[in-house]
Amino acid sequence: MRGSAGASGGRGRASREKYRNPCLTMHQPWASLLVHGIKRIEGRSWPAPLTGRLWIHAASKVPDAETIKAMEEFYREIYATNGITDIKFPEHYPVSRLLGCVEVVGCLKSEELVCWEALPESVRLEGLTDFCWLCQNPQKLLVPFEMRGYQGVYNLEKRIYEAAVRGLCPVQCPQPVKFPLPDPQDPLSLRPGSLASYFSSSKTSTAETPPSVSAAIAGARAAAAQFSKKDQSKGTSSNQIDVIQKSEHEFTGTSLNITTEDGRLYWFPNGRSHRGYQTRNHKEQKTTPENREHSRGRTKEFSSDLILQPGASSKLFAAALEGLKLN
């Protein structure tokens, strides 16, 4: 037991060193459902490489109405198994935005999660993938940040993190869940295989699933499969994750777009040049010595760098601006 605890502690330290401000890009509507506390299990084909705060970024693909309908129906049905019928779904599913964060407390195999009777049935019904990341304590950004995502877990750029962490607000979940640790002395005790000794095949629930729940599960699987097939064709093992290749160019900074809830867009230049290209409102521009010097000069006049579109909330803007102090 001592050896096991020591090993898990080492893995925890290693993940903290590797991921300073970890972020995961997800397709919509799954990204918003997770940040709004409706989704508690993030399903993957690979185990969670970390515990602690995980930022959630919405990929660029606009979700179609059928996918949104299928996933909302899935959650209506599984919550109903615990008598919860009043679920407030997100009004919008924005894309290419940093939405908020959750706390990943561990990761289990699907067969462990579905048999864990300490959890509400609605949570166990979310165990539809090989590995289940256990997420709690969601927080959303009052002002979602427009940014580019990457494949897998990656670190947020420092300036984006410093602005985002100031803009978090609590979320009212339809059924808040706290995942109990098998070993209260070990914060990393929720890992794949950690609950296997508690369960056997004979303990697997044999209760018949209501037809409406079975239909909702089938719809959710079909909705997720559209992305899994695309990922497999590209030689990846990701699930519900935006397949965005990392730039071959090295970034020395990141421009930041902030969109308020009333639809206004603000653009903050980073004041530092990129190698390869610069991004402004999704338009790529080649870097030349001339525009590199132009970029450096613009940082001296931050106020003139700000591009505003009509209709912004001054209070929201001031809150976001507070977190974007350039060196």
Tally Cβ neighbours within 10 Å of residue 66: 12
Express each pLDDT in 169-207 by its tens digit: 999 999 999 999 999 999 999 999 999 877 654 455 556
What structural domains does the chain harbor? 2-233 (2.30.130.30), 256-322 (no CATH)
Q: What is the model's pTM?
A: 0.69
Q: What is the pLDDT of residue 198?
A: 72
What would the 3-class secondary structure string for 193-254 be? CCCHHHCCHHHCCCCCCCHHHHHHHHHHHHHHHHHHHHHHHCCCCCCCCCCCCCCCCCCCCC
The string of pLDDT tens digits covering residues 302-318 is 333 333 333 333 444 44
Q: In whole angstroms, what is the distance from residue 40 CA to residue 138 CA?
A: 9
Q: Name the packing angle between helices 211-233 and 65-80 (round to 10°).
A: 140
307 backbone dihedrals φ, ψ, rounded to 5°: -105, 120
Number of Cβ within a 10 Å radius of residue 194:
21
